[in-house]
Amino acid sequence: MSLHSQTIDSFELARASRQIDGWVNVADLLRLSSLLADSSGALHYRVTGVADVEGQPGAQLQLTGLLRLTCQRCNEPLEFQLDRAVLFRFMASEEALNALPIEEDEIDAVVGSRTMNLRDWIEDEAMLSLPLVARHDECLAANSTPDFDPVKVANPFAALSAMRDALNDDKGNT
């Protein structure tokens, strides 16, 4: 079965502690590809069903691969090494998901399903892994502001003050 149409029973995956792993071509992830400079390559995924300490069904999702972005400073290609591992809790309904306390952010909660689309889930997590502003390390350093030294910075009002003083001197000499 191709990843395009593969669905999983998230609750059964967790109950049986089943593991699914494989590869997906970046070009097949259309929403993700639209954010990249180049859609070549593939991502490796591993989904492992788990139950948390409270017995709630969940999964560990691991994604690795190389994504090609564009540096937002120099517009040159930038290779981004994706390495994401996220622990999820599957909730039975949207209402149960919304009832969770907001403070609980150690584990991501999603609505589980007997027909959860694996490709969409992988694509969503890959997109969430992208940096907000992609830049090379050297471009980050070039963009940093040197320490501010007020002694070295000319006061923009100093020229006005000098002009005022010169006018006052001229009035005193007449």
Q: Is residue 148 part of a domain?
A: no
Q: What is the pLDDT of residue 116?
A: 93
Q: What is the pLDDT of residue 1?
A: 40
Task: Tell me the C-alpha distance between 150 and 137, whole Å.
Answer: 28
Q: What is the pLDDT of residue 98?
A: 85
Task: Tell me the C-alpha distance between 8 and 105, whole Å.
Answer: 24
Q: Is residue 39 part of a domain?
A: yes
Q: Is residue 164 part of a domain?
A: no
Count of the separate structural domains present in the chain = 1
Q: What is the pLDDT of residue 144?
A: 53
Q: Is residue 149 part of a domain?
A: no
Which domain, by its residues, includes 35? Answer: 7-135
Q: Is residue 140 part of a domain?
A: no
- Token digits of residue 18: 């089943």
Q: What is the pLDDT of residue 154?
A: 62
Sign (positive or negative) of CA dihedral 118, 123, 126, 127: negative
Q: Is residue 123 part of a domain?
A: yes
Task: Tell me the C-alpha distance between 36 and 133, whole Å.
Answer: 12
pTM, two decimals, is: 0.74
Divide the 174 residues of the chain into consecutive groups of 10 and give the mean pLDDT of each group. 72 95 96 94 96 88 96 92 93 87 75 93 95 87 54 64 76 64
Q: Is residue 160 part of a domain?
A: no
SS (H, E, C) the chain: CCCCCCEECHHHHHHCCCEEEEEEEHHHCHHHHCCCCECCCEEEEEEEEEECCCCCEEEEEEEEEEEEEECCCCCCEEEEEEEEEEEEEEECCHHHHHCCCCCCCCCEEEECCCCEEHHHHHHHHHHHHCCCCCCCHHHHHHHCCCCCCCCCCCCCCHHHHHHHHHHHHHHHHC
Q: Is residue 165 part of a domain?
A: no
- Token digits of residue 31: 């929403």
**CB neighbours of residue 148 within 10 Å:** 7
